[in-house]
Structure 1
Amino acid sequence: MTTTTPEQNVGATTGLPTLGPEGTRLLRLLDDTFEGWGVAAGARPMTMPPLLPAADLAKLDYYDNFPHQAVVAAPLDLERRATTPFDTTAGRFPSDALEPAALGLPSASCYAVYLTHQGTRVADDTLVTICSWCFRKETHYEGMRRQLGFRMREVVAIGTREHAENHLAEFTTRIQSFAKALDLPLRREAACDPFFDKGSSKAVLQRLTPVKYEFLYEDLAIASVNTHRNFFGERCDITLASTGGPAFTSCVAFGLERWLSALTRRHGSWESAERAVLEAGASGAAGPVI
């Protein structure tokens, strides 16, 4: 039997590849590892919906900041469907056959966390970990490197500025130690997320002090650490129990399929990649696995 790599998988060019037993086992092993890091740090595991109200995402400037990635969902308009049937040639429903799109498919897991906590007071050291399906429209799709639908494990901090900053510092060290144990050379680079109005003082501050760092294997970002300062705390009215002021947030994100791609490219096969993760765990570099 021939074992395929992620880049050889059926559906790789459409952004919707599948995983066989080997890839599924490795993905679960990685996700258990990353979730274990969060739980050991005190994070509450949660499950978020795969869709979010488009109005809520719009409130976070999502469609202004990431219009090129946005994917929305709409039900069929049953009255119009008779006159605008499925286009078998193009392989799609025409827009006239759809109701208005009121649901958004988020491009990152953490949006649901902030929306779930809107209007609440939180402890100064709140942590949440989730793994959700995420969706991004891309100019092209490539194996497990660039997908329309993919899974993202995140560990999200909500609380004081110090708590949000310490969270990123601790996980930066953990990611680098894990990568070293995996013999996976990663490059840490500053990146930019447009969470703030381009002309605002916060946008100027972001250019002076980056809010996002990515960890790249070759040219592929497989993890990131992100601080949003008090942007989501203000937009979602998340306040601190200690002071009543807006919460600060930060998140650590792992693109699970991208880790599969990096590990199999580095180690040559599913089996060798899984062995590397297990050996890293045995050495203690992987930390707790739940």
Structure 2
Amino acid sequence: MNRLTGSDGAPALAILGPEATRLVKELDRVFAGWGLAAGAEEISAPPLFPVPDLEKFDVYTNFPHLAWVAGSLDVTGEQFKPVEGRFGSGAVSEARYGLPHATCYGAYLFHEGGQVADDTLVTLVNRCFRNEDHYGGLRRLASFQMREIVALGSFPHTQEVLARFTGRIQAFAAALGIELAKVPAGDPFFRNDGGRALMQKLSPVKYEFQYGGDLAIASVNTHRNFFGERCGIRLASGEHAYTACVAFGLERWLAVLTEHFDADLDAALAAVRKAEKVTAEAAAETAEVPAAPGTAAVGAS
């Protein structure tokens, strides 16, 4: 059993019960394991960043509606005391920190100003925060956990990683008996006044894996060299690094599995373990098949 809470009674935050916690931890172990098996190194990031770090990614230009910020209380007067469950606008002195709405930002900030190999791969999990216009339990929360596998390096490397994990997500869902649709997403990732924005309109840079026609539980995202430029991440050639990421919303996977297995989370846990074994064996067999000349062994991990 989980407990949902939130301001004004909105089911915006979840305290997961023991069974749900075990299932989420297993899902995270599976997704992190995919990255580690592919050669990723795991890093850890804080749940909030200085505002300038997020501002350099155009977070407050492209996603102002989702943004949460955190600041210290102004304790010079009585206004710092909450009234009717909330602090007034004059109670916060400075909002110097921003709460990220995606996990991958930590990977780019970690490598800021550095040089990476052409085939760099990292994985990390973090709390994400989104100021949504409505909430819906585990399907749509103000704070949730997102595991990501992030590729940095050459452009072909980033695209091979996305192709590899696209296949892995689809195979894993199929083994669970879950039907997912891969659909292009229309997030305004790049500013509207640049060449990247035009390219995004011509060729989607983000695909979501949707359950039930409206719930995205995973996505694959290509950023070209946007983050490489903004963070000054370079390759040995001197070129700015390209990046891409694969993201998994853990509570959303939990919501789908809870529905699919009629709230029997022990059965869902067993199914996840079985599905991972099946897909791992299939990936290993694919890796053993020699690729045709000039092609990548997509599906190998």
Tell me the TM-score normalised to structure 2 length: 0.89
Report the residue type matching 1:140 in the other structure: H
- Deviation per residue, 1:97-153 (Å, 9 max, x gap): 211101000000001111121111111111110000000001111110000110000
Secondary structure, aligned partner of 1:122? coil
RMSD of the TM alignment (CA)?
1.6
Q: Given the alignment, which residue of 211, 214, 225 partners 1:217?
A: 211
Contact persistence 2:4–2:14 (CA under 8 A):
yes
Alignment-derived partner of residue 78 in structure 1: 75
Which one is further off, 150-159 or 194-203?
194-203
Pairwise CA distance, 1:180: 0.5
Contact persistence 1:181–1:285 (CA under 8 A):
no
Residue 250 (structure 2) pairs with residue 256 (structure 1): yes
Pairwise CA distance, 1:264: 1.0
Cα separation, 1, equivalents of 2:39 and 2:141: 31
Cα separation, 1, equivalents of 2:180 and 2:72: 42
Alignment-derived partner of residue 271 in structure 1: 266
Q: Given the alignment, which residue of 19, 22, 47 partners 1:25?
A: 22
Pairwise CA distance, 1:285: 4.5
Q: Given the alignment, which residue of 41, 44, 47 partners 1:47?
A: 44
Alignment-derived partner of residue 57 in structure 1: 54
Cα separation, 2, equivalents of 1:14 and 1:72: 20
Cα separation, 2, equivalents of 1:281 and 1:155: 17
- Deviation per residue, 1:148-206 (Å, 9 max, x gap): 11000000000000001101000000000000100010000001232322132221111
Tell me the TM-score normalised to structure 1 length: 0.92
Secondary structure, aligned partner of 1:197? coil
Residue 13 (structure 2) pairs with residue 16 (structure 1): yes
- Deviation per residue, 1:31-63 (Å, 9 max, x gap): 000000000011110100111010111111110
Query: Which structure's relative contact order is higher, taking Cα pairs within 8 Å and 6+ residues apart?
Result: 1
- Which runs of structure 1 show a deviation greater than 3 angstroms over 4 or more consecutive aligned residues? 284-288
Aligned residue runs from structure 1 range 190-209, under 5 A: 190-209=184-203
Report the residue type matching 1:231 in the other structure: F
Contact persistence 2:73–2:80 (CA under 8 A):
no
Secondary structure, aligned partner of 1:121? coil
Alignment-derived partner of residue 165 in structure 1: 159
Which one is further off, 139-148 or 23-32?
139-148
Unaligned runs of 5+ in 2: 285-301
Secondary structure, aligned partner of 1:177? helix
Residue 115 (structure 2) pairs with residue 121 (structure 1): yes
Contact persistence 2:126–2:147 (CA under 8 A):
yes
Report the residue type matching 1:63 in the other structure: Y
Contact persistence 2:175–2:279 (CA under 8 A):
no
Alignment-derived partner of residue 236 in structure 1: 231
Alignment-derived partner of residue 139 in structure 1: 133
Pairwise CA distance, 1:227: 0.1
The percent identity for this pair of structures is 52
Contact persistence 2:116–2:235 (CA under 8 A):
yes
Report the residue type matching 1:41 in the other structure: A
Secondary structure, aligned partner of 1:239? coil
Report the residue type matching 1:273 in the other structure: A
Cα separation, 2, equivalents of 1:240 and 1:151: 30
Report the residue type matching 1:29 in the other structure: E
Unaligned runs of 5+ in 1: none
Cα separation, 1, equivalents of 2:11 and 2:80: 23
Pairwise CA distance, 1:83: 2.7
Pairwise CA distance, 1:275: 2.1
Cα separation, 1, equivalents of 2:115 and 2:278: 40
Which one is further off, 181-190 or 112-121?
112-121
Contact persistence 1:26–1:274 (CA under 8 A):
yes
Report the residue type matching 1:210 in the other structure: P
Q: Given the alignment, which residue of 281, 287, 290 partners 2:276?
A: 281
Report the residue type matching 1:74 in the other structure: G
- Deviation per residue, 1:232-274 (Å, 9 max, x gap): 1111111002x11010000000000000001111111212211
Contact persistence 1:177–1:285 (CA under 8 A):
no
Which one is further off, 222-231 or 9-18?
9-18
1:174–1:69 distance in 2 versus 1, CA, 3 Å: same
